[in-house]
Amino acid sequence: MTSALTTPPAISAGTLSVGPQPLLSAGGGLLLRPWAATDAPVFLAAYRDPEIQRWHTRQPGSEDQVREWFDQYRRDWAQERGAHWAVTRDGDEVLGRIALRGLDLDDGVAECAYWVLPAARGAGVAPRALAAVSGWALGEAGFHRLELDHSTRNGASCRVAVKSGFRLEGTKRSDAVHADGRHDMHLHARIRGDEEPA
């Protein structure tokens, strides 16, 4: 037997999947778009980068597996479980990845994740992409709270979060397993009504 909510859902089922996953402009020529099958080689190559490998324990092993992930990304949108974007320059050159995962439409909560290719780091790509996704999610999409976490040893990710308006809320002790053992994780969040990032 399933239980019924005693409060109305923050986002009604079907609100997101009624249309295609949106294209989002992140300024400075950045466009966030859904992944295409032709992006598989660059996506796979990203996971050969030592920094991406260090912080992301789930990694694809082949271009075929990447395309399977892309198929799952499309199903995630259709089933309102997630949204996954390629961060691109003008819709063509892939610079990184950003995603909303674990969508909880009842409470209006989702989790953010991202990475940027080595050649695009240091140019503000991740903060602009995160700000664009956050603006859409907390605005048009109707979410109330967005969360992200990262290893306390990942200073770059922490700077991206803070620059994008995600306040540090605390440390989750020994929360995640990386290749070198367990890591404490910083928890950041941004809620609707927070001050816009500079």
The domain locations on the chain are 24-191
Residue 103, pLDDT score: 97
Residue 175, pLDDT score: 94
Q: What percent of the chain lies above the pLDDT cut of 90? A: 91
d(CA 110, CA 117): 24
Q: Tell me the per-residue pLDDT of 45-62, one tens digit each, with 9 for 90 and over.
A: 999 999 999 999 889 999
Average pLDDT, integer, range 13-22: 96
Q: Tell me the per-residue pLDDT of 89-132, one tens digit each, with 9 for 90 and over.
A: 999 999 999 999 999 999 999 999 999 999 999 999 999 999 99
Residue 197, pLDDT score: 80
119: nearest Cα among 101, 94, 91, 138: 94
3 falls in which pLDDT band (50, 70, 90)?
Answer: low
Q: Is the pTM of this model over 0.85?
A: yes
Contacts of the segment 7-10: beta carbons below 8 A, 24+ positions apart:
9/105, 9/106, 9/108, 10/105, 10/106, 10/107, 10/108, 10/142, 10/143, 10/144
Pick the CATH number of 24-191 from 3.40.50.2300, 3.40.50.300, 3.50.50.60, 3.40.630.30: 3.40.630.30
